[in-house]
């Protein structure tokens, strides 16, 4: 189990001390969806961006506790997860957390974009999840986050 300090953006502790690392969280009740997101983004979301360290969550409670403990640069939430979808979690986090990290919501169809907008998602990627679209969505949000920290 990792501590909250291990989830800080740009953490200078541990094996990645030589380079910047950003923490991203992926939520889905489907392990295959989580794996597809992690593989699509890879070790870096884009050229010139820090290395990515992933945290996975399979339940709403898992997301809420991990977000409370850690400092994530971006959250990727599966809008189609069973029991509690990523859109409901996005809306809850955006309304309850001051300076909530940006959220990418994965939807079943492009037509569901309006629901993700209602949930205050910062980016939407519809199924089938194109690795390039996922990378671009996450990279864009990371760049905005990092520019905000340095500007």
pLDDT in tens, 68-122: 998 999 999 999 999 999 999 999 999 999 999 999 999 999 899 999 999 999 9
**Secondary structure percentages of the chain, helix, strand, coil, to 5:** 45, 20, 40
Would you kindly state where each structural domain of the chain is located, as residue ranges? 4-146
Question: What is the topology classification, in CATH, of domain 4-146?
Answer: Rossmann fold (3.40.50)
pTM, 2 dp: 0.86
Which tokens in the block code for residue 23? 């923490």
């Amino acid at each position: 189990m990792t501590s909250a300090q291990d989830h800080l953006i740009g953490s200078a502790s541990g094996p990645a001390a030589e380079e910047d690392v950003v923490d991203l969280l992926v939520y889905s009740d489907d392990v295959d969806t989580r794996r597809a997101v992690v593989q699509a983004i890879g070790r870096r979301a884009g050229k010139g961006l820090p290395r990515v360290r992933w945290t996975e969550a399979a339940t709403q409670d898992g997301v809420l506790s991990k977000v409370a403990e850690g400092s994530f640069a971006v959250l990727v939430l599966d809008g189609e997860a069973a029991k509690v979808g990523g859109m409901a979690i996005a809306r809850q986090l955006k309304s309850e957390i001051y300076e909530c990290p940006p959220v990418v919501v994965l939807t079943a169809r492009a037509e569901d974009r309006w629901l993700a907008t209602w949930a205050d998602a910062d980016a939407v990627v519809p199924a089938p999840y194109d690795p390039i679209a996922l990378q671009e969505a996450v990279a864009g949000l990371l760049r905005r986050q990092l520019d905000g920290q340095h500007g």
